[in-house]
Structure 1
Amino acid sequence: MERERDAVAGVPEGGSEFSDEPPMGKAVVLTGSSALRHRASALLENTTFVPRLPDYAHASDEAGSKRPFDIVIAPHTLWPLQDDYRRKLQVQNYWSLLAPSGGVLILLEKGNPRGFEVVAGARKMLLDNHIASPGSSSYESELQSPNFSRVVKKEPGMIIAPCTNHASCPLYKSEGISKGRKDFCHFDQRFVRPPYLQNILGAKSSNHDDVPFSYIAVQRGQDLRSSDSEGLESGAIIQGNAATDAAFAGYDNAVPFGTSPPPTQNHIPNELEPDNTDLTSIDPEHDNMAPSSTVQDSSTAPPAQISPLVLPRLIVPPLKRKGHIILDLCTPSGTFERWTVPRSYGKQAFRDARKSSWGDLWALGGKTRRARNVKMGLGDEDGEGKVKRKEKGRKAKR
């Protein structure tokens, strides 16, 4: 316990309580339980515990300097709010807490249809009112007040994960609660149960469990889709149909974005290869072309870098058959598609498709693709779901 406490508090294992390295940062944790605040404060350094969330969204600029945060993690905070407008105000408050130079907001809810609808509603609100996209840099406010402008300008921002597009969610076509929703974006995380929980559940065969969750991570102030973004060497990231078509064709020789390609070796052509000549080595005084030792073969050219923001993501566990793999992907163009990778498509692609897991990005393309039917259920707004169920029952009787 003492070693765990030292590790959490940042104390070196050698026993020295002082270190030359400065702390990585300071955290502010929101928790309403006084007992939990007292217990956690004994373990964590550079951490402030607050009983309530500061309301920066409605605070005036003269009220005091606002403290921006680099990361805001909000797990299971939106679903308890019954009204939709309260959830929007909460998300807007989270957004105002972020640092304008690249703060990250992570919203996490339960991995069921209601939790997905809460996260998808927050995603739609952020895209409609805060995050600027090509062709949608402003919106018209519904407030008729002389103190507010009719046209509100959005600010730079982007979705980091899990979406690789900024279009409307293909699984959230019907807004609000939808009864019988079968297809929704969620993932799972395995955790190890502590011994006391093992005894309570009476689980002797396995000491782990899988927890489904829905989430979204957005960044404020930085947009890699813009050519003005810092840290981009190959230009802005392009999403949409072009990115989906390129991913379906496959990135066989690409390397992950931000990593260095493997070193290449110079190719020295011999006299029997007259086509492999360097045109820059032509002697202007003699009409002959001497081979150059710096010529690089096309097979040894450095591979192109690929960003994870232009790849489709598996939002459903892959269906692994004997001779082919079926992948249900959310594409960079904002569509829900089913790609098939048969054994005949390629040895490497088929092997990687068989090893793929739920939530992975896919970069090796496929042989066939088609739109995936989305089972969104029946909406219940204004009795619409009840009418649809009656019509469905009449057709079944016929």
Structure 2
Amino acid sequence: MNASLPLPDALRAALAGLLDGLPPTRAAQAVDRLIASYRGTTPTDAPVLRDRADVAAYAAYRMPATFEAVRAALAALREAAPDWAPGTHTDVGGGTGAATWAVAEAWGGAARSTVLDWAEPALALGRELAAGAGPDAQWRRARIGAALTLEATDLVTVSYVLKELTPEDRRALVAEAARAAQAVVVVEPGTPDGYERILAAREQLVAAGLTVAAPCPHGGACPIVPGADWCHFSARVARSSLHRQVKGGSLPYEDEKFAYVAAVRFPAAAAAGRIVRRPQTRKGQVLLDLCTEDGGLRRDTVSKRHGPLYKAARDADWGDPWPPD
């Protein structure tokens, strides 16, 4: 999943001039505070994005990374259910709408989206970014928590939201998404605690009758020993000038680590296996760490004697299904 396509031209253009008129130090201060909230604990009754400066900094700094992570999760869902396409989509806690842009790209803009968020400045900027060539979406203010009721929809996305909620509100939100949608995609940071929130959401979705379509090749318990490791993936993100200003570094990109689950109420063919670590290339062979359909973890060694499979292994990436079709 490291290789990525460019951002949609319309989104790139909308983000390019977003910080015009905002002093660089103000943008950097807003990003620093947002990073602290992202890594810390945020009470469920306090939206992270408070004003226009916060929202502009968030959109310029985080929106490309969120878009890439959701795009990768949706690509895995599409691989599992290539004949399915959502007609309606609800983006819960969607802020400025990164996931909505990803959904529009994944299915050619066919889905009618509704973005729900409790921060009006984020919704306002989302509308502004989408005006013209952006996704066709409605933007509605809603408190994201136990009292939230969703209308029936084909697809619900919940990206980088669960960390902002109390455990009770997390459970209520996932339960409501499972009730309302035919497909649910949840994305969290690729950290140990983000993985734990994805695990909990996955268990809830399966208990509610949904089938895991990705990334897991099975619907059983995760084979990773708790506390020993965690399941996550990586998406490559082009660094903006704000990224370079805040984080420094000379590389034109960074890798966004994320964890996700996609679960559905319709037929889907999960991958027979999933590459869960970056492939290791040796002389004449490639080592692949896999999660398999029988619910176990294993390492496969693919060598030149495997012929075309060896070439496929050399081209394979972290997060890809295995073996290839």
1:359 aligns with 2:301: no
- 1:57, 1:92 within 8 Å by CA — same for their partners in 2? no
Counterpart code for 2:281: K
Equivalent residue, structure 2, for 1:166: 219
| Offset, 1:342 | 2.6
Counterpart code for 1:158: T
Equivalent residue, structure 1, for 2:170: 87
Equivalent residue, structure 2, for 1:37: 123
- 1:55, 1:93 within 8 Å by CA — same for their partners in 2? no
Equivalent residue, structure 1, for 2:85: none
In 2: Cα distance, 1:189 partner to 1:364 partner: 20
Which structure has the highest helix share of the two?
2
Equivalent residue, structure 2, for 1:326: 287
TM-score by length of 1: 0.49
Identity, % of aligned pairs? 26
1:49 aligns with 2:10: no
In 1: Cα distance, 2:138 partner to 2:258 partner: 27
| Offset, 1:113 | 0.9
Number of residue pairs the alignment of both structures matches: 219
Equivalent residue, structure 2, for 1:196: 242
Equivalent residue, structure 2, for 1:107: 186
1:332-347 maps to which residues of 2 (within 5 A)?
332-344=293-305, 346-347=306-307
Counterpart code for 1:362: W
In 2: Cα distance, 1:92 partner to 1:70 partner: 15
| Offset, 1:310 | 4.4
1:316 aligns with 2:316: no
| Offset, 1:356 | 1.6
SS of residue matched to 2:163: coil
In 2: Cα distance, 1:57 partner to 1:223 partner: 31
Which residue of 114, 118, 135 maps to 2:197? 118
- 2:290, 2:300 within 8 Å by CA — same for their partners in 1? yes
The CA RMSD over aligned residues, in Å, is 3.0
Q: Does the C-alpha gap of structure 1 residues 316 and 35 become closer, same or farther in structure 2, counting only changes over 3 Å?
A: same
Q: Does the C-alpha gap of structure 1 residues 89 and 34 become closer, same or farther in structure 2, counting only changes over 3 Å?
A: closer
Deviation digits for residues 360-389 of structure 1 (CA, Å, limit 9, x no counterpart):
112279xxxxxxxxxxxxxxxxxxxxxxxx
TM-score by length of 2: 0.60
Which residue of 260, 264, 268 maps to 1:219? 264
Deviation digits for residues 230-266 of structure 1 (CA, Å, limit 9, x no counterpart):
xxxxxxxxxxxxxxxxxxxxxxxxxxxxxxxxxxxxx
Equivalent residue, structure 2, for 1:26: 112
| Offset, 1:25 | 4.0
In 1: Cα distance, 2:166 partner to 2:315 partner: 41
In 2: Cα distance, 1:71 partner to 1:30 partner: 13
Where does structure 1 differ by over 6 angstroms across 4 or more consecutive aligned residues?
54-59
Structure 2: segments with no counterpart, 5+ residues: 1-8, 15-108
In 2: Cα distance, 1:364 partner to 1:33 partner: 42
| Offset, 1:201 | 3.1
Q: Does the C-alpha gap of structure 1 residues 48 and 56 become closer, same or farther in structure 2, counting only changes over 3 Å?
A: farther
1:177-326 maps to which residues of 2 (within 5 A)?
178=227, 181=228, 183-203=229-249, 205-220=250-265, 222-224=266-268, 309-326=270-287
Deviation digits for residues 315-347 of structure 1 (CA, Å, limit 9, x no counterpart):
111121113222110001111111122333x22
Counterpart code for 2:165: L
- 2:117, 2:144 within 8 Å by CA — same for their partners in 1? no
- 1:160, 1:217 within 8 Å by CA — same for their partners in 2? yes
Deviation digits for residues 44-92 of structure 1 (CA, Å, limit 9, x no counterpart):
3642222225779887xxxxxx721222111122223343x44222210
Counterpart code for 1:130: A
Moved more, 30-39 or 321-330: 30-39
In 2: Cα distance, 1:39 partner to 1:223 partner: 37
| Offset, 1:208 | 1.1
| Offset, 1:197 | 2.8
Q: Does the C-alpha gap of structure 1 residues 347 and 196 become closer, same or farther in structure 2, counting only changes over 3 Å?
A: same
- 1:56, 1:97 within 8 Å by CA — same for their partners in 2? no
Deviation digits for residues 251-307 of structure 1 (CA, Å, limit 9, x no counterpart):
xxxxxxxxxxxxxxxxxxxxxxxxxxxxxxxxxxxxxxxxxxxxxxxxxxxxxxxx5
In 2: Cα distance, 1:325 partner to 1:93 partner: 43
- 1:313, 1:361 within 8 Å by CA — same for their partners in 2? yes
Equivalent residue, structure 1, for 2:93: none
| Offset, 1:110 | 0.7
